[in-house]
Chain A
Amino acid sequence: MSSDMKFDQGLTLPEILSGNDLKIMLLPEKVRYSLRIKPSDIAAVNKASGLKLPRKIGGSNLGKDQFVMCLGPDEWFVVANVDARDRLEKIFAKLEKSFTLSITDVSHRNICFGLMGADAVKAVNIGCPLDLSLEHFPVGKVTRTVFESAPIILTRTGEDNFGIECWRSFAPYIRGFFERYATDKAAA
């Protein structure tokens, strides 16, 4: 169902900007789950599920087809490719039987912008007030933050690779900043 006409993330152009030093893309369909687990259960959950949930808030684990982030003391966020859905849901069903936890499908709540290139830090910083130097925001770090007035989850998967997860209705607003930035870059 993923690639047919029914699916609509609300942004018409997948590619906002494509240059040597900066590419900004709307990522294709993903599945997303919010996991709420008692911190005391983490080791057991990891053992039972093989999910590799990071223990540190702001930590993440990037696998072949899934990205697991720790957003809070008892909160994890899993983003995965669509074909991982069945595998993950089987794991979750198993976990729900053995543990007291909460798993909520939020696949369609968010969209994700991918930013790549030497200029990616600058592009994120036009709206995000965090210090993105590698010392303060190393590769692998994730956090809830803001992009101007929009709440986002910011992820760094490489020195020049960022993801901005936001709720669907905030996407055009964030995209608008990238467009203004692109015009600026072209004119400068």
Chain B
Amino acid sequence: MGEYRKSGKGRVDHSEAVRFSFDGKSYEGLRGDTVASALMANGVHLLGRSFKYHRPRGAVGVGFEEPNALVTVRRGKGRMTPNLRATALEIYNGMEVTSQNRWPNLNFDIGAFNNTFSAFFPAGFYNKTFMWPKSFWDKVYEPFIRNMAGLGPAPTEPDPDVYASTYAHCDVLIVGAGPAGLAAAIAASKKDQRVVLVDENTELGGSLLGATGATIDGKPSEAWLAKTIKDLDKAQNVTVMTRTSAIGFYHDNFVALSERLTDHVPSLKPGQSREKLHRMRAGRVILAQGAIERPLVFNGNDRPGVMLASAAQTYINRYGVGVGKNIACFTAHDSAYQAVFDLADSNIRVAAIVDARKELAADILAQAQSRGIDVITNAVISKTGGKNRIKSIEVYSPDTGTKRQVNCDALLMSGGWTPSLHLWSHSKGSIKWDAATKVYLPDQANENCVCIGACNGDFGIKTALNAGSKAAGGRKSYKVEEADFGQGQIFDQLPNYIAPQKTKAFVDFQNDVTDKDIKLAVREGFKSIEHVKRYTTNGMATDQGKTSNLNALEIASKALGKDAPQVGLTTFRPPYTPTTFGAICGYRTDDLFEVTRKTPIDPWAESQGAVFEPVGIWRRAWYFPKPGEDMHAAVARECKATRDSLGIFDASTLGKIEVVGPDAAKFMNIMYTNPWSKLGVGACRYGLMLREDGYIYDDGVVGRLAEDRFHVTTTTGGAPRVYRHMEDYLQTEFPELEVWLTSTTEQWSVIALNGPNARKLIEPFVEGIDLSPESFPHMAVREGKICGVPTRLFRVSFSGELGFEVNVPAHFGKYVWETLFEAGQKYDITPYGTETMHVLRAEKGFIIVGQDTDGTVTPHDAGMSWIVSKKKKDFVGKRSLQRSDLVAEGRKHLIGLLTDDPNVVLEEGAQIVTDPNQPIPMDMLGHVTSSYWSEALGRSIAMALVRDGFNRMDEELYIPMPGGVNHKAKVVKPMFYDPKGERLNVL
């Protein structure tokens, strides 16, 4: 057992030793210890080095507010977590903990030279210094600064752990299980409602764990706590969650709770989740987050062994650990006295209590005197001594100028208390400044939410208990005997005889921000605390300024000569505590990170070794390489096989919308630029859809199945938005139309067959449809059967070849595909992917919406004026097509490009100019939208949007590329293959 452990004291299990290591050295702690408490039990206070100056640091706090004691825990390959707070980290047998931000070791750290030269590193130092040369920033300055001023190293290996996530609901969510939260939970449990009580600590109790001696309803507080925990456990309607941090409070009482499941146990079972994110929607939220003690800002306040008084009190009462053997205390608040008394009562020598205040309540003084404690009022600590652990303090009385050295091995400090407003502020609850206690307190709620207990500025056990009961609708009045919580005084500045440039009084321990830095920021013109924060980095570390924000505000407002509310308060943002990415993702990792939609035929493509590409959230077969083939070779082969004989393509992802009702044709006339009334039943037509602004939005082939039923197809990526676009117009602009829309994208699996042998292939499988060209011409649709299953068979072509699109109910898609593929062997049937589909359509000059158009292209720009009805009275986008800028000269037009060198395939996106030798910036005419190698033509082809393109036919343009290469290309009509369309009519 460590020499600082008090036998039998605290809530730790003195019968169960736990061995762990810190920086390679083995230590023994007890079950229930944190890394910090176990190390302190062994007399170790030096836990890390600070961020900027690499100063030796120990624990300042005792829980999640800790700014200093950040450590790394390694749990085997890939399981390295940096920046964990040693004060909130439970130990287990075999745990490996290392300190951070030091080299070569914690006791001797080279980076500490920053400390010696700290006068040269004021606030804004990096911003001011590393300005020039600019090119040095990325490669020299930033890596160096990041390396020196880092926290723990970021993990480099993938995280092997798994995480869980869920949604949950309750009527009352209570955050924080101190006296206020517990009383609220008890009161809430008595009503017919779902109650959830969460606390980030390992056990319930909050401040009751650290402060003993009070009685509640006649019982010692420990016994009351034990009974309360038992009662809550018994209550069927209460869920208690420990090790659970409420990390964010979002709209409508949506609170994110991150639960740590396994970090406190030595080993995980396979598949066990490390953490779980509960996305909780609560009817009412009761925030009982408590308050965090404020450090005092004085010269040398960061030496290991200097800590918050309440932390020292908790170390003795909860963990049975004395933070020293000869302690001193520096305070401006009464509450620190109780902490010192608790230590004194555990046989720890108290060297002195230094109180910055002039007056002190007589009863407190009497209690100190009865314990033989020397209390020095109206005095401050002017400096501290010791290297890696505090050894002495210098007590300075400003009124008399006397100085006195007092030896000690730990120093407790208390600058008062800061109510925790974090979650309240996330919820956009307003706050008000309390001038008397110099703190911000909750004011108006923005959600169904209330703050109770210390986070509402109501201190003391009795106050908290009664507030808790009341908040949850109870009426219980607790009988409590406790030491008076007392009062304090807030000091913006503590007097010192030492010249400011020779002192170092830290405000933000984690980011190494001193009072001087904040004053400097004010001198340099920063007037809002938000700007002071960004300039000094105060409150911007992983602890988000839990211990520093209010001290910084005090100093800044004093320096500005303004009241604190005029200087502001920095915004609290989620998460409340550092949270793993794993917890944020939950189950949504790897294949569940995002939806990947796959077609019924996808497994077949995968088995054939297809290479896939994402299209929207679909994955589609891109090309089907044979052994030894690259993409170019595979696509060339697929194109040739399709044009020569037969290609088979999975077009299932095409969006499909069934438009049904007596006004179906009328509706189609409104949504598309071309007319639909005269389209006969069984016929198909290509349709072009505009947005209200007149630009191309989508396109697709539409088949008329009955007078009142259209089978509309859309682009793959456009399906959801086209459906919404149609519903939007139907519901808001044309609600009088009797027509309904149903998405049938996934009802149909679509097998596209293209090539001269397409008809021959399907003939033997089709029932009930006459396939002869006379009765089933190009652009027609028939219903019948194929391979024994129902089909909507379209004769359409996106390749220029004879083509059929076989629509079958999706669950039969793979079967029909496999049957046709098998039968197609005699025609050398070749599966092709999206790349070949793109090449084949580009050879014909068919556009791809979103590739050859970009939301600024009108039908005329795309060379498609032919599809815009001049007779229709109205359609979406019609009026916009008359806008002056849409009919103006000089718009970009979609044209074809043929490169001078037929082997050059232009880069899609490349810019186009008339003269490549003109000075930069060149006058850019437009860009290449589609560009491919055409196997059928034996040369490259491209499409491009070019200013005034239609008037540039046969003109030679240039495409300058990086490296000084200028490709020359001729403007042509975007129709490269079979311009008369004869191949469609092959028999």
The chain B residue sitting closest to A180, CB to CB, is B587
Q: Quick one: which of B594, B738, B748 contacts A149, CB cutoff 8 A? A: B594
Interface presence of A86 (CB below 8 A): no
Chain B positions 568-603 with a Cβ under 8 Å from a chain A Cβ: 587-588, 591-592, 594-600, 603
| Chain A residues with CB under 8 A of B788 | 1, 6
**Does B587 contact A1, Cβ atoms closer than 8 Å?**
no
**Does A184 contact B815, Cβ atoms closer than 8 Å?**
no
Distance (whole angstroms) from the CB of B667 to the closest CB of chain A: 12
Q: Quick one: which of B587, B662, B787, B813 contacts A126, CB cutoff 8 A? A: B587
A101 to B738, CA, bound (A): 8
A165 to B313, CA, bound (A): 57
Interface centre among A100, A102, A106, A173 (most CB of B within 10 A): A102
Q: A184-B164, A188-B272 are in contact. Are A1 and B789 (CB under 8 A)?
A: yes
Interface presence of B812 (CB below 8 A): yes
Contact string against B for A residues 1-37, beta-carbon threshold 8 Å, 1 for contact and 0 otherwise: 1000111111000000000000000000100001010
**Does A34 contact B169, Cβ atoms closer than 8 Å?**
no
| Chain A residues with CB under 8 A of B425 | none
Interface presence of A42 (CB below 8 A): no
Interface presence of A83 (CB below 8 A): no
A38 to B661, CA, bound (A): 11
Interface presence of A129 (CB below 8 A): yes
Interface presence of A187 (CB below 8 A): yes
Interface presence of B858 (CB below 8 A): no
The chain A residue sitting closest to B657, CB to CB, is A104
**Does A108 contact B810, Cβ atoms closer than 8 Å?**
yes
Q: Of B378-386, B696-704, B739-747, B942-950, which binds chain A?
A: B739-747
| Chain A residues with CB under 8 A of B598 | 10, 169, 172
Contact string against A for B residues 724-752, beta-carbon threshold 8 Å, 1 for contact and 0 otherwise: 00000000000000111011111111000
**Does B815 contact A8, Cβ atoms closer than 8 Å?**
yes
**Does B742 contact A34, Cβ atoms closer than 8 Å?**
yes
**Does A126 contact B167, Cβ atoms closer than 8 Å?**
yes
Chain B positions 812-866 with a Cβ under 8 Å from a chain A Cβ: 812-815
Interface presence of A56 (CB below 8 A): no
A99 to B69, CA, bound (A): 75
Contact string against B for A residues 167-188, beta-carbon threshold 8 Å, 1 for contact and 0 otherwise: 1111011001100110110111
Distance (whole angstroms) from the CB of B75 to the closest CB of chain A: 17
Interface presence of B775 (CB below 8 A): no
Q: A106-B742, A107-B747 are in contact. Are A6 and B812 (CB under 8 A)?
A: yes
A183 to B658, CA, bound (A): 41
Interface presence of B281 (CB below 8 A): yes
**Does B742 contact A129, Cβ atoms closer than 8 Å?**
no
| Chain B residues with CB under 8 A of A45 | none
Interface presence of A150 (CB below 8 A): yes
Distance (whole angstroms) from the CB of A156 to the closest CB of chain B: 15
Interface presence of A94 (CB below 8 A): no
Interface presence of A133 (CB below 8 A): yes
Distance (whole angstroms) from the CB of B978 to the closest CB of chain A: 35
The chain A residue sitting closest to B652, CB to CB, is A169
Interface presence of A144 (CB below 8 A): no
Interface presence of B273 (CB below 8 A): yes
| Chain A residues with CB under 8 A of B166 | 122, 125-126
Interface presence of B778 (CB below 8 A): no
**Does B738 contact A100, Cβ atoms closer than 8 Å?**
yes
Interface presence of A47 (CB below 8 A): no
Q: A173-B596, A187-B272 are in contact. Are A133 and B169 (CB under 8 A)?
A: yes
Chain A positions 112-149 with a Cβ under 8 Å from a chain B Cβ: 122, 125-133, 136, 148-149
**Does B271 contact A183, Cβ atoms closer than 8 Å?**
yes
Q: Quick one: which of B281, B743, B812 contacts A7, CB cutoff 8 A? A: B812
**Does A100 contact B742, Cβ atoms closer than 8 Å?**
no
| Chain A residues with CB under 8 A of B749 | 108
A132 to B167, CA, bound (A): 10
The chain A residue sitting closest to B589, CB to CB, is A180
**Does A133 contact B810, Cβ atoms closer than 8 Å?**
no
Q: Quick one: which of B603, B744, B809, B815 contacts A104, CB cutoff 8 A? A: B744
**Does B742 contact A176, Cβ atoms closer than 8 Å?**
no
Q: Quick one: which of B194, B272, B592, B738 contacts A176, CB cutoff 8 A? A: B592
**Does A6 contact B789, Cβ atoms closer than 8 Å?**
yes
**Does B662 contact A100, Cβ atoms closer than 8 Å?**
yes
Distance (whole angstroms) from the CB of B166 to the closest CB of chain A: 5
A131 to B810, CA, bound (A): 33
Q: Quick one: which of B271, B595, B739, B814 contacts A170, CB cutoff 8 A? A: B595
| Chain A residues with CB under 8 A of B813 | 8
Q: Quick one: which of A100, A103, A129, A188 contacts B279, CB cutoff 8 A? A: A129
Interface presence of A89 (CB below 8 A): no
A34 to B167, CA, bound (A): 30
Q: Quick one: which of A9, A38, A100, A150 contacts B595, CB cutoff 8 A? A: A150
| Chain B residues with CB under 8 A of A150 | 595
**Does A149 contact B740, Cβ atoms closer than 8 Å?**
no
**Does A169 contact B597, Cβ atoms closer than 8 Å?**
yes
**Does B592 contact A177, Cβ atoms closer than 8 Å?**
yes
**Does B165 contact A126, Cβ atoms closer than 8 Å?**
yes
**Does B742 contact A36, Cβ atoms closer than 8 Å?**
yes
The chain B residue sitting closest to A105, CB to CB, is B747
| Chain A residues with CB under 8 A of B279 | 129
**Does A169 contact B744, Cβ atoms closer than 8 Å?**
no
**Does B742 contact A104, Cβ atoms closer than 8 Å?**
yes
Interface presence of B401 (CB below 8 A): no
Interface centre among B594, B599, B603, B660 (most CB of A within 10 A): B660
Interface presence of B938 (CB below 8 A): no
The chain A residue sitting closest to B661, CB to CB, is A102
The chain B residue sitting closest to A74, CB to CB, is B740
Interface presence of B871 (CB below 8 A): no
**Does B600 contact A168, Cβ atoms closer than 8 Å?**
yes
Contact string against A for B residues 265-284, beta-carbon threshold 8 Å, 1 for contact and 0 otherwise: 00001111100000101000
| Chain B residues with CB under 8 A of A34 | 742
| Chain B residues with CB under 8 A of A183 | 162, 271
**Does A125 contact B168, Cβ atoms closer than 8 Å?**
yes
| Chain A residues with CB under 8 A of B162 | 180, 183-184
- Which A positions have Cβ atoms within 8 angstroms of B? 1, 5-10, 29, 34, 36, 38, 74, 100-110, 122, 125-133, 136, 148-150, 167-170, 172-173, 176-177, 180-181, 183-184, 186-188
Known: A8-B812, A131-B281. 16 other contacts (CB 8 A): A10-B603, A10-B811, A100-B661, A102-B742, A104-B744, A106-B747, A125-B166, A127-B587, A169-B746, A170-B595, A173-B592, A180-B587, A181-B164, A184-B162, A184-B272, A186-B271
The 5 closest A-B pairs by CB, nearest first: A169-B597, A36-B740, A102-B660, A102-B740, A187-B272
- Which B positions have Cβ atoms within 8 angstroms of A? 162, 164-169, 194, 269-273, 279, 281, 587-588, 591-592, 594-600, 603, 618, 658, 660-662, 738-740, 742-749, 787-789, 809-815
Q: What are 25 contact pairs spanning A and B, CB under 8 A?
A: A1-B788, A5-B815, A10-B600, A100-B661, A101-B661, A105-B747, A106-B744, A107-B809, A108-B746, A108-B749, A108-B811, A109-B746, A125-B167, A131-B169, A133-B169, A136-B169, A167-B745, A169-B598, A170-B597, A173-B591, A173-B592, A184-B162, A187-B270, A187-B272, A188-B272
